[in-house]
Structure 1
Amino acid sequence: MKTLFACLGTLAAGILLGVPGASAAGVEAVDQDYVKAHAGRTGVVLADVRSPEVYGGLSPRAGIPGGHIPGAINFPLADLDRPDASEALARAGLTRDAEIIVYCNTGRQSARFIDRLVGSFGFDPSRVKNYTGSMTDWSRNPENPIETGTAKP
């Protein structure tokens, strides 16, 4: 029983502190290799949840480049608060039947985005993945491409 409470306490602390990969939704944390193997496959959506400016190429801060992983769509975390968020998710391809891989700069925003997808919009946690290393991890490999420019309508 002590172990159970210790695990729950660690998870709760991680969620409150925004630790990458900590998610109340209980989704799988994935790495760069997983993203490379799955992005671009039919039925898989790679979602960048940062601002359109950062997605387009503006560096959010030193050490993290602007731009996005090729093939990613942009659906900012803040857009989940729009009155038409459910419809916007569907228009972006973020549907309950897709496998969704979510990333941001460091995995914190993506964890919050996932919590909202699962908790507020009813997505199945087994269909949503958190790329916890996100752009910080992706950009460490000079062979990984980074695209710039705005999202296609």
Structure 2
Amino acid sequence: MHPIIHVEDLHAARGAGAVTLLDVRYRMGGPDGPPEFAAGHIPGARYVDLDAALAAPAVRIDGRTPRGRHPLPDPEVFGAAMRAAGVHADAPVVVYDDWSGHAAARCWWLLRHHGHPDVRVLDGGWAAWTASGGGVETGGPDDPVASGDFVARPGGMPVVEADGVGDLPVLLDARAPARYAGLTEPLDPVAGHIPGALNFPSTDNLDEAGRFRPVAQLRAAYADLGVVPGVEVGVYCGSGVTAALDVLALELIGVRAALYPGSWSEWVADPDRPAVTGPRRRT
């Protein structure tokens, strides 16, 4: 199943029959998603909270997070959240946000990882919908929704853990170049990147309008780092959220990448794990 849907096709899909719409608006530092959802959302959409449904609570020890800042949710918790949002196993799901697809990609990845066969991210998100003249519905996220029947069965997407990232032919760091290089680190206690990792910022997947770049452009950009079909690839970021956008973009070019869920925030929780600094490398 193609991992993105354009707004014109979403209009057609909504007119043709059942599609479950999930609004996962979330941005680090705000604004909060629920008030944004209540003020206006795609008609029929259900709100999904990233912190509550798409991640487990972070455990902090001496300022470090041994499982990362956004650990993967327990499958039972995630499945229950999806059923509460009306997700059915046999009905297509479209996910959108207002954070350049980052939160939506996390939800897309989790649903695919837990066995849903038909999940797509709205290209351009909420901005694309409103720009297209799509209808807007108001109302809070607590409005009643008919429950779905989706059961979470993890294993549908590849995962790599800390002890395996060094074995991958290519490891991509999806954070901004300054964080990758170790010039700044606003969230985690150590700056830098995992040794051998190459930098492909998640925002490089998108054009100026916040939509995915053409497949040919993506294919060329990733090939510049040695990422081509048939090569094993892993992706990480700060906490396993924004890396999902790289994973989604790689699906567009025919590369199935493994996500490192704990990402940098888990990696640096162990002081024995090395961190290196320096500018973006290319092959």
The TM tier, using the shorter chain, reads 0.7 to 0.9
Provide the secondary structure at the position in 2 that maps to 1:30. Answer: coil
Partner amino acid, structure 2, of 1:48: D
Are 1:101 and 1:129, in contact at CA under 8 Å, matched by a contact in 2? Answer: yes
The aligned counterpart of 1:90 is 223
Are 1:24 and 1:115, in contact at CA under 8 Å, matched by a contact in 2? Answer: no
Task: Report deviation, 1:24.
Answer: 3.5
The aligned counterpart of 2:160 is 30
Larger helix fraction of residues: 1
Distance 1:23 1:114 in 2: 14
CA deviation string 1:90-148 (max 9, x = no partner): 11111112100100000001112112211x2222x3xx110000000100111111000
What are the ranges of 5 or more consecutive residues in structure 1 without an aligned counterpart?
none
Q: Kindly indicate whether residue 82 of structure 2 is the aligned counterpart of residue 9 of structure 1.
A: yes
The aligned counterpart of 2:182 is 57
Task: Report deviation, 1:30.
Answer: 2.0
Q: Kindly indicate whether residue 277 of structure 2 is the aligned counterpart of residue 148 of structure 1.
A: yes
Root-mean-square deviation over aligned CA pairs: 2.9
Provide the secondary structure at the position in 2 that maps to 1:86. Answer: helix
Task: Report deviation, 1:7.
Answer: 7.1
Distance 2:187 2:268 in 1: 12
Are 1:23 and 1:114, in contact at CA under 8 Å, matched by a contact in 2? Answer: no
Task: Report deviation, 1:8.
Answer: 9.3
TM-score (norm 2): 0.43
Task: Report deviation, 1:23.
Answer: 5.8
Partner amino acid, structure 1, of 2:161: D
Task: Report deviation, 1:67.
Answer: 0.9
Distance 1:53 1:45 in 2: 20
Q: Do the aligned partners of residues 62 and 78 (structure 1) sit closer, same or farther apart at CA in structure 2, a change above 3 Å counting?
A: closer
Computing the radius of gyration from Cα coordinates, the structure with the larger value is 2
Task: Report deviation, 1:18.
Answer: 3.6
Are 1:23 and 1:111, in contact at CA under 8 Å, matched by a contact in 2? Answer: no
Q: Kindly indicate whether residue 273 of structure 2 is the aligned counterpart of residue 112 of structure 1.
A: no
TM-score (norm 1): 0.75
Partner amino acid, structure 1, of 2:82: G
Partner amino acid, structure 2, of 1:49: A
Fraction of identical pairs, as percent:
31
CA deviation string 1:25-75 (max 9, x = no partner): 742222111224x14xxxx10110111111100333233432110001111
